[in-house]
Chains A and B, each alone.
Chain A
Amino acid sequence: MTGDWLDIGWVDEIPVRGSRTVQVAGGDDIAVFRTAEGKVFALLDRCPHKHGRLSQGIVYGGAVACPLHNWRISLSTGEALGDDKGCTPTVPVKIDAGRVLICRASTLKAAA
């Protein structure tokens, strides 16, 4: 599988208001989220605060709450919300005929 996008599976495999991970050999996992509205986002699975696994947080609105210290991270920008400062790299995502595709270059960067 080559090209600019990596096919990681069906949208339905991601629970609504939940997330799944993509394991990247030699690097951080990528967390793929699905919101209540059905939008899909991907971030490095790493909170900017203490590197908590964002994929394990509670997803609400367009944000995820980190399970370690409840930092709230915007799914679309990766920026910490509220008074906290920090940013998690985002990974471009697109949906094609029900399949979830994530940006290959960003994924390779995660492995680097």
Chain B
Amino acid sequence: MEHTPLKAKADTREHLVVIGNGMAGCRAVEELLARDADRYRVTIFGAEPRVNYNRIMLSPVLAGEKSFDDIVINDADWYAANGIALVAGDPVAVIDRAAKTVTTRGGTTECYDRLLIATGSDPFIIPVPGKDLPGVIAFRDMDDVDTMLAAADAGGDAVVIGGGLLGLEAAHGLSLRGMKVTVIHLMPTLMERQLDEAAGWLLKNALEARGQTILTGADTAEIVGDGKVEGVKLKDGTLIPASLVVMAVGIRPSVALARDAGLAVGRGIQVDDHMVTSDPAVLAVGECVEHDGQVYGLVAPLWDMCRSLADGLVEKPSGYRGSVTSTKLKVSGIDVFSAGDFSGGDGCEDIVLRDASRGVYKRVIVKDDRIVGAVLYGDTADGSWYFDLLKKQEDVSDLRDLLIFGQSFASGGGAADPKAAVAALSDDAEICGCNGVTKGQVVACIAKGARSLDAVRGTCKASASCGSCTGLVENLLALTLGDEVQAGPKTMCKCTSFGHDDVRREVVAQDMRSIPEVMQKLHWTTPDGCSSCRPALNYYLLCALPGDDVDDQQSRFVNERLHANIQKDGTYSVVPRMWGGLTNPTELRAIADVVEKYDAPMVKVTGGQRLDIFGIKKEDLPAVWADLNAAGMVSGHAYGKALRTVKTCVGSEWCRFGTQDSTGLGVKIERMSWGSWMPHKFKIAVSGCPRNCAEATIKDFGIVCVDSGYELHVGGNGGIHVRVTDLLCKVATEQEAMDYCAAFIQLYREEARYLERTAPWIERVGVEQIKARIVDDAAGREALRARFLYAQSFSQDDPWAQRAEGAEREHHAPMARFTPQEEMA
């Protein structure tokens, strides 16, 4: 049990006590705080021992797509920051209206001035024999999810009774978790309250194709088992084995407390337009209420109710007028939408479009030139448009011929322009169903400074839950901000909706330490990423955590995994480091010996002033490295997103034009920076005079020596798009040249996106920005340099030497050898 102190010191404000710490109770409090944060002292009682979470997101938790933390709406800090006392895990047992108190099961009594009942609903348990056996559960709260997860760990068969929304989501989650799932549904088609027969049939086929067994028109007779559930018996005698039975046949407003307290109760707790019950001091909101003869089991009406309730509490009553509901959801990855009345009847006309091969079904029901209902299956993009027309009761006679093809066609656009579609939505059109956010609210939140998807998610919560409205929110950003947002980063890959910069910032901010942790916390949509994002994440972690053992070999491209360059025939080429392009007889002899010993068919002088040995077999690599190591040579990282070479000319030592010791400086710089992993390959050159024989002005970092010192150049590239460097600055001493170089490398390591060379990086951020950080900000430069040297203290360990000593041998040797002749002999 989680208790926060109940008694604040002498607080004379009216005391609002809320029974129910769920979506309705907390939303009502949020709405109230938004109107007048100081008016009431608030105490919330919750039956569950946890903070307020998004109940409709339990399905993704079951399916393994989200964790509990992801679906928390208000964490403990929210209660504290707003001075709300939370009593979690100790449900209210009695309301005494005469004394104006509530008493919990644990015996705590609290006085109220105003009482808000938000007890939601209870799962309906069908009264069949065996319903109380261990292993028979509902699907209502986090405890149910935990029970299901434990059952799924043990494996076996599960039966879900009820083929409505909740039942199908439970079945989907359990199926994903590896259980063999049978869905038993009393009615002839699935989700008959939200879908018509055709869509229900499409859904049934699709779910069966995914491996679930769906029995429609099936009536449960009893749940059998000795001491625990063993199976479900149907009225036709069929016995279905099961170690877990989930009852998801429906919900009933939770009215027991209210009824015991003598409040007027029909199907739900009866309330007026201001959510006030038969007792003026008691209000009620959410699934537990009956308003104007209606009870609601969906989340959307709750937002409207909470607004009216809060308006009433601050004495600016607006009045709730009932809700027209729509359902938009993903069942087992299939998009489904419905709204209004689709039962047909007198005067109703159906407009239907079917595309069997794409699995799309659309039906719009029109009465007296107005839309009264819509059912969409497979393609729900136009759902919010139809729903908007329906709620506004707009005359659609002019659109009728094109109505079924969706908004873009019907509005005369021809080709679909999603931005135009969003622009045409009215301000009160709902964008995010999970969090009840309208278009007007999203636009207001953008106008107040939320300039990215992330910022919108963080402020008004649109697109922060299931993410199905992400496209709409992005279009709203584009519409509201115009070109400002166009430059926004693309997502890293199809596995995530975050861009490189967002991921990187979060990795650092949340101190993430492994690729699975990043994927979990940032809601990766694939279980283990892809060949694009894994190497990027591996690099970001390596860069953020120098010295920590975070390198994941399986997330590296083959060349970095084998420390050699794969060639088209599957052999490798090996390039030992030659510092500054210098070599000596020992090194040359060792290279010659390796070429002969391992039958390398070719040796080539590279553009980076070293020698490349071609045609080495994967299994010979460790031995080749051992031989090269013995002559004092280390890996040249010619294969890596890392420092490649430092190209030099001969400089003042020999050249009649040379102004400084370019060779010596090149060697020093290479010794300082080798072994460092970077976003992409990185080349350096040092030329001894402005004749620039080392081609320093097309390198990532180039130094051109002049009589009075060293010109430092950055961002050059000699590849497909040749780019000449930008001049960073001029320095007087060798030491300064090295310090600036180290700082620049670290800035690139920390801020460029993975696989972004320095040239496009600098074009993206602007060279002025680089100058401001490296040249103008001496303290910043020194800090960057220090971080680089610190990281280097861990990375200058020759990977070849480690492999030659036997590290990760499995990368090189075959697992088994097989010779057909021998085997047959």
A residues with CB within 8 A of B: 1-2, 6, 8-9, 13-18, 20-26, 29, 32, 35-37, 50-53, 56-61, 65, 67-68, 70, 72, 107-108, 111
Residues from chain B with Cβ under 8 Å of A53 in the complex:
566, 570
Of B554, B557, B814, which contacts A17 at CB under 8 A?
Answer: B554
Tell me the nearest residue of chain B to A59, going by C-beta: B554
Residues from chain B with Cβ under 8 Å of A17 in the complex:
528, 554-555
Q: A26-B820, A56-B558, A111-B820 are in contact. Are A21 and B814 (CB under 8 A)?
A: yes
Tell me the nearest residue of chain A to B561, going by C-beta: A56
Question: In whole Å, how far is A27's beta carbon from the nearest beta carbon of chain B?
Answer: 8
Tell me whether B531 and A22 are in contact (CB under 8 A).
no
Tell me whether A61 and B528 are in contact (CB under 8 A).
yes
Tell me the nearest residue of chain B to A69, going by C-beta: B568
Tell me the nearest residue of chain A to B566, going by C-beta: A67
Interface residues on B, range: 20 to 34
Give 6 nearest A-B pairs by CB, closest first. Answer: A65-B531, A20-B815, A56-B558, A8-B816, A25-B819, A17-B554
Tell me whether A23 and B814 are in contact (CB under 8 A).
yes
Q: A13-B810, A57-B531, A72-B531 are in contact. Are A25 and B817 (CB under 8 A)?
A: yes
Bound together, the chains give a CA A8 to CA B818 distance in angstroms of 9
Tell me whether B554 and A15 are in contact (CB under 8 A).
yes
Question: In whole Å, how far is B755's beta carbon from the nearest beta carbon of chain A?
Answer: 12
Q: How many A-B residue pairs have CB under 8 A?
A: 97
Residues from chain A with Cβ under 8 Å of B529 in the complex:
60
Residues from chain B with Cβ under 8 Å of A60 in the complex:
526, 528-531, 534
> Mind listing 5 A-B residue pairs with CB under 8 Å?
A37-B527, A57-B558, A58-B557, A65-B531, A68-B568
Residues from chain A with Cβ under 8 Å of B819 in the complex:
24-25
Of B527, B810, B816, B823, which contacts A23 at CB under 8 A?
Answer: B816
Is chain B's binding surface mostly helix, strand, loop or mixed?
Answer: mixed
Question: In whole Å, how far is B459's beta carbon from the nearest beta carbon of chain A?
Answer: 34
Of A6, A16, A24, A58, which contacts B535 at CB under 8 A?
Answer: A58
Bound together, the chains give a CA A51 to CA B818 distance in angstroms of 21
Given contacts A6-B816, A14-B815, A52-B566, 6 further A-B contacts (CB under 8 A): A13-B815, A52-B568, A56-B562, A67-B566, A70-B531, A111-B820
Residues from chain A with Cβ under 8 Å of B357 in the complex:
none
Bound together, the chains give a CA A24 to CA B530 distance in angstroms of 30
Of A22, A70, A111, which contacts B815 at CB under 8 A?
Answer: A22
Tell me whether B568 and A21 are in contact (CB under 8 A).
no
Of A8, A18, A68, which contacts B566 at CB under 8 A?
Answer: A68
Tell me whether B530 and A22 are in contact (CB under 8 A).
no
Residues from chain B with Cβ under 8 Å of A29 in the complex:
814
Bound together, the chains give a CA A12 to CA B103 distance in angstroms of 58
Bound together, the chains give a CA A67 to CA B526 distance in angstroms of 21
Tell me whether B823 and A20 are in contact (CB under 8 A).
no
Residue B584 CB within 8 A of the other chain: no
Bound together, the chains give a CA A59 to CA B557 distance in angstroms of 10
Tell me whether A58 and B534 are in contact (CB under 8 A).
yes
Of B555, B568, B815, B823, which contacts A8 at CB under 8 A?
Answer: B815
Bound together, the chains give a CA A26 to CA B821 distance in angstroms of 10
Kindly identify, within residues 509 to 536 of chain B, every residue whose CB is under 8 Å from any CB belonging to chain A.
526-531, 534-535
Tell me whether B530 and A61 are in contact (CB under 8 A).
yes
Q: Specify which of A13, A53, A107 lies most central, judged by the most chain B CB atoms within 10 Å of its CB.
A: A53
Q: A2-B823, A36-B528 are in contact. Are A16 and B554 (CB under 8 A)?
A: yes
Bound together, the chains give a CA A6 to CA B644 distance in angstroms of 44
Bound together, the chains give a CA A29 to CA B618 distance in angstroms of 13
Tell me whether A24 and B553 are in contact (CB under 8 A).
no
Tell me the nearest residue of chain B to A58, going by C-beta: B531
Residues from chain B with Cβ under 8 Å of A13 in the complex:
810, 815
Kindly identify, within residues 448 to 468 of chain B, every residue whose CB is under 8 Å from any CB belonging to chain A.
none
Bound together, the chains give a CA A36 to CA B10 distance in angstroms of 58
Tell me the nearest residue of chain B to A17, going by C-beta: B554
Render B190-222 as a binary contact track against A, CB cut-off 8 A, 1 for contact. 000000000000000000000000000000000
Tell me the nearest residue of chain B to A112, going by C-beta: B820
Tell me whether B810 and A20 are in contact (CB under 8 A).
yes
Tell me the nearest residue of chain B to A22, going by C-beta: B816
Render B786-825 as a binary contact track against A, CB cut-off 8 A, 1 for contact. 0000000000000000000000001000111111110100
Residues from chain B with Cβ under 8 Å of A18 in the complex:
553-554
Question: In whole Å, how far is A66's beta carbon from the nearest beta carbon of chain B?
Answer: 9
Question: In whole Å, how far is A29's beta carbon from the nearest beta carbon of chain B?
Answer: 7
Bound together, the chains give a CA A25 to CA B507 distance in angstroms of 47
Question: In whole Å, how far is B106's beta carbon from the nearest beta carbon of chain A?
Answer: 44
Residues from chain A with Cβ under 8 Å of B531 in the complex:
57-58, 60, 65, 70, 72
Question: In whole Å, how far is A1's beta carbon from the nearest beta carbon of chain B?
Answer: 7
Question: In whole Å, how far is A76's beta carbon from the nearest beta carbon of chain B?
Answer: 15
Residues from chain B with Cβ under 8 Å of A2 in the complex:
823
Q: Specify which of B528, B529, B554, B816 lies most central, judged by the most chain A CB atoms within 10 Å of its CB.
A: B816
Question: In whole Å, how far is A112's beta carbon from the nearest beta carbon of chain B?
Answer: 8
Residues from chain A with Cβ under 8 Å of B528 in the complex:
17, 35-36, 60-61
Question: In whole Å, how far is A94's beta carbon from the nearest beta carbon of chain B?
Answer: 15
Bound together, the chains give a CA A80 to CA B276 distance in angstroms of 63
Bound together, the chains give a CA A25 to CA B814 distance in angstroms of 12
Render B536-567 as a binary contact track against A, CB cut-off 8 A, 1 for contact. 00000000000000000111111101100010
Tell me whether B818 and A61 are in contact (CB under 8 A).
no
Bound together, the chains give a CA A68 to CA B816 distance in angstroms of 24
Question: In whole Å, how far is B312's beta carbon from the nearest beta carbon of chain A?
Answer: 52
Question: In whole Å, how far is B442's beta carbon from the nearest beta carbon of chain A?
Answer: 33
Bound together, the chains give a CA A110 to CA B535 distance in angstroms of 32
Question: In whole Å, how far is B506's beta carbon from the nearest beta carbon of chain A?
Answer: 21
Bound together, the chains give a CA A79 to CA B535 distance in angstroms of 24
Question: In whole Å, how far is A81's beta carbon from the nearest beta carbon of chain B?
Answer: 11
Tell me whether B816 and A58 are in contact (CB under 8 A).
no
Bound together, the chains give a CA A32 to CA B815 distance in angstroms of 9
Of A1, A15, A51, A57, which contacts B810 at CB under 8 A?
Answer: A15
Question: In whole Å, how far is A64's beta carbon from the nearest beta carbon of chain B?
Answer: 8
Tell me the nearest residue of chain A to B571, going by C-beta: A53
Tell me the nearest residue of chain A to B533, going by C-beta: A60
Question: In whole Å, how far is A106's beta carbon from the nearest beta carbon of chain B?
Answer: 11
Residues from chain A with Cβ under 8 Å of B566 in the complex:
52-53, 56, 67-68
Residues from chain B with Cβ under 8 Å of A107 in the complex:
818
Of A1, A6, A23, A67, which contacts B557 at CB under 8 A?
Answer: A67
Bound together, the chains give a CA A59 to CA B526 distance in angstroms of 13
